[in-house]
Amino acid sequence: PLSPPPRTFCGGGFGCGAAGSAGAAPPNEDGVTVYNEDTVGPYQTVTVGAQDPNALYDWLTQNGYAIAAETVPTLEHYVALQSVFVAMSMAPGLDVQAMHPVSVRYPGFMATFPLKMVVVGAQVQLELALWIVADQRYEATNYGTVALNSDYLSWDWQTQRSNYADAFALTALENGNRAWIVEYAGSFSAALQDAASAASADIELARGSLLAPYLTRLRTVMLVDHVNEDMLLGPAQDPSDVSPLVFAPNDLNRPADVD
């Protein structure tokens, strides 16, 4: 969902975005307004909106989108916000082997991450990573934002591995499985020196838009039942950097000859 209602455009590569006002396009007979239809790479896209979530659900299912009936309350939430929806499907003759990552660009400041839409169809828990490029460190204002609890972290000298995944899960658990963990906060350029070429357009966009782009990486393992509202983002109360390197205070199988 995107808000306010935009007129979409899609350009080179596989990027697709939204801009401007949706205009005065009238709804069709089934109560759904189709703002835009396009083909982007291997995908067919359509941007639609409605004032009735049931009408929107009916339109999507009638047009071949597999959507569970339990999705209607989520549609109702975003319809009430006057959002529009970008629906995508594979172009005729293509299968999943042709799929590519999708980039959605939205001009201006968008400080809400639509978590309620993300959980549609999810089971038990979600693992999500969010990269925020701005002029300073950001955090979730309506969910917990915490640092990794390094007390849980250990280094096994025999296997030459840490238990970082376990420490991450325990940190999430002690915060009610409803918190985002800051894994990095600092210079955008320093963090992306080895970024994949597929992200080069986004990297150049950030560098061209901000004098000193700053990257915040948030990640979570969150129970689906705890995702009860969209994520609101705001400047972090603690503006300090967070290093991606974490010291493990606990040793396992430490050799006797290691100081």
Dist. CA 99–CA 64, nearest whole Å:
18
pTM given for the model: 0.79
230 vs 112, 201, 234, CA distance in Å?
Answer: 7, 27, 13
CA distances 161 to 63, 144, 150, 187, 253, Å, are: 50, 28, 15, 27, 11
- Name the strand (E) or helix (H) holding 219: strand 214-223
H/E element, 125: strand 125-134
Local mean pLDDT, 10-residue blocks, the chain (259 residues):
36 31 55 90 91 93 87 91 89 86 75 87 86 91 95 94 95 93 88 57 69 89 89 95 92 83
pLDDT tens-digit series, residues 43-100:
999 999 999 999 999 999 999 888 888 889 999 999 999 888 998 888 888 888 888 8
Q: pLDDT at position 202, please?
A: 65
pLDDT score for 11: 30
Helix (H) or strand (E) holding 221: strand 214-223
